[in-house]
């Protein structure tokens, strides 16, 4: 992986390159970022840069022997540990057993979550783990001479899964052998042993911006630009969330929103019922995404109402739609109540309530709210 292939994270990339160029790259790094922000991708780009035989100032060459071996996760001086499960009863979990699968997983989804990974190896409801044996193995391996005479790099993806066994590694992390680098990639430092945290230098990753995610979806996943923008807006800074949204969201979300609001705003029961029927046929994830999308657009419309000159960062037709809503000058309380009603609907849909009933009830609530009334329920 090139640095240029890592989405966003410009500050972290430059910081790491600066440390390398000044000869101050610490021997133990903790790269922390929420799922889908690219911790593993960044660690792999740094590793490739270190092993690259013809590196430039800013990136690895991508075609030398060093680069090629890292790309295949097959460099003899690159060691990787990650959560795994016992391959069969009576046999301990070990990264070595799953190395082939891990290579495949990283090829397919370098931004994949631990959950995705455990699904990938059919862990079902088994908890992943990095065992005490594996920790001892890491110490032994890193104490051997490098195969190629240069650096040895140990990646630990998700040190959260070390549990207290991680204490076995303390001495190694504190005083690693010559030319040995340990990069850990965490999602939540809260779940990493303090004894490990205090011995590593932290690199914190930011959530990705909507623009960064949109760009990645369009250029890497050949997503349709407007669907990419919609998924990016809902992804909470995570590339993997955005990819999932893209998969779940079968189609453009603005179309059903238009149809729904047309029905609701003109009190057209037939249109609303048709919308409820159509939306009810889609899956719960799609319904949830649609409602989240609606909340976002309403948020923009409210800002357009309140802030003169506010320009939403939305595709043109979505911005125009939000603009039309804003022209109606609804009071902020109305937006607030609609938002609340949508939250409740999402809550119930997530808990397997009958979605058509929920969507119809929501439609009625919105219809009342925009007339400055509240729907009274006898219950």
Two tokens, residue 323? 């603009």
Q: Where are the beta strands (DSSP E) in 121-179?
A: 152-157
d(CA 362, CA 276): 10
Q: How far apart are CB 143 and Zn ion at their closest, in Å? A: 27
Which one of the spans 65-73, 86-94, 192-200, 272-280 is the region binding Zn ion (CB under 5 A)? 65-73
113 CB neighbour count, 10 Å cutoff: 18
Residue from 31, 44, 67, 272 binding Zn ion (CB under 5 A): 67
Beta carbon of residue 62, minimum distance to Zn ion (angstroms, whole number): 6
* Residue (23 or 56) nearer to Zn ion, CB: 56
Minimum distance between the CB of residue 12 and Zn ion, rounded to whole angstroms? Answer: 21
User: Binding residue for Zn ion (CB under 5 A) from 5, 19, 26, 61?
Assistant: 61
Token duo for residue 264: 């609701």
Closest CB to Zn ion among residues 64, 364: 64
**Pick 49 or 260: Cβ nearer Zn ion:** 49
Assigned token pair, 57:
């100032």
19, 25, 64, 353: which one binds Zn ion (CB under 5 A): 64
Residue 4 Cβ, how far from Zn ion at the closest point, in Å?
13
Distance CA 230, CA 213 (A): 10
Total of chain residues touching Zn ion, rule CB under 5 A: 5
Number of Cβ within a 10 Å radius of residue 13:
21
Restricted to residues 17-56, the positions that interact with Zn ion (CB under 5 A) are 52
Of 180, 174, 166, 163, nearest in space to 200 by CA: 174
CA end-to-end span of the chain = 58
State the minimum distance, in angstroms, from the CB of residue 61 to Zn ion.
3
What residues form DSSP beta bridges with 182?
Answer: 28, 154
Asked whether 196 and 162 are in contact (CB, 8 A), the reply is yes
Q: Nearest distance from residue 47's CB to Zn ion, in Å? A: 12
Task: CB nearer to Zn ion: give 10 or 65.
Answer: 65
- Only one of the segments 3-11, 63-71, 173-181, 318-326 lies at the binding site for Zn ion (rule: CB under 5 A); that segment is 63-71
60 forms part of the interface with Zn ion (CB under 5 A): yes
Vertex 65 angle, CA 59 and 69, to 5°: 85
Contacts with Zn ion, residue ranges (CB under 5 A): 52, 60-61, 64, 67
């Amino acid at each position: 992986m090139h640095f240029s292939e890592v989405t966003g994270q410009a500050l972290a990339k430059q910081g790491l390159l600066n440390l390398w160029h000044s000869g101050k790259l610490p021997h133990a790094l903790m790269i922390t970022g929420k799922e889908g922000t690219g911790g593993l991708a960044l660690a792999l780009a740094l590793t490739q840069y270190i092993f690259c035989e013809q590196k430039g100032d800013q990136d690895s060459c991508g075609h030398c022997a060093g680069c090629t071996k890292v790309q295949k996760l097959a460099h003899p001086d690159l060691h990787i540990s990650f959560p795994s499960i016992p391959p069969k009863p009576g046999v301990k979990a070990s990264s070595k057993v799953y190395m082939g699968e891990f290579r495949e997983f990283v090829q397919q989804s370098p931004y994949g979550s631990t959950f995705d990974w455990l699904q990938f190896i059919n862990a079902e409801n088994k908890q992943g783990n990095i065992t005490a044996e594996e920790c001892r193995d890491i110490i032994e391996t890193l104490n051997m001479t490098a195969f190629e005479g240069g650096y040895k790099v140990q990646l630990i993806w998700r040190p959260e899964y070390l549990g207290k066994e991680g204490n076995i590694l303390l001495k190694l992390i504190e005083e690693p052998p010559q030319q040995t680098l340990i990069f850990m990639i965490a999602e939540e430092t809260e779940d990493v042993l303090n004894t490990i945290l205090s011995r590593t230098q932290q690199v914190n990753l930011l959530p990705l911006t909507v623009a960064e995610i949109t760009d990645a979806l369009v250029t890497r996943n050949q997503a349709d630009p407007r669907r990419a923008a919609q998924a990016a807006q809902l992804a909470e800074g995570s590339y993997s969330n955005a990819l999932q949204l893209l998969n779940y969201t079968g189609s453009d979300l603005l179309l059903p929103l238009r149809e729904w609001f047309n029905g609701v705003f003109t009190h057209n029961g037939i249109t609303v019922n048709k919308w409820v029927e159509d939306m009810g046929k889609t899956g719960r994830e799609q319904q949830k995404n649609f409602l989240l999308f609606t909340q976002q657009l309403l948020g923009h419309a409210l800002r357009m109402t309140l802030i003169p000159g506010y320009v939403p960062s939305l595709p043109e037709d979505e911005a125009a739609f939000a603009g039309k809503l804003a022209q109606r000058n609804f009071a902020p309380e109305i937006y607030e109540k609609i938002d609340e009603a949508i939250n409740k609907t999402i809550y119930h849909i997530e808990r397997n309530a009958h979605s058509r009933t929920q969507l119809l009830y929501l439609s009625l609530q919105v219809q009342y709210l925009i007339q400055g009334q509240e729907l009274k329920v006898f219950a």
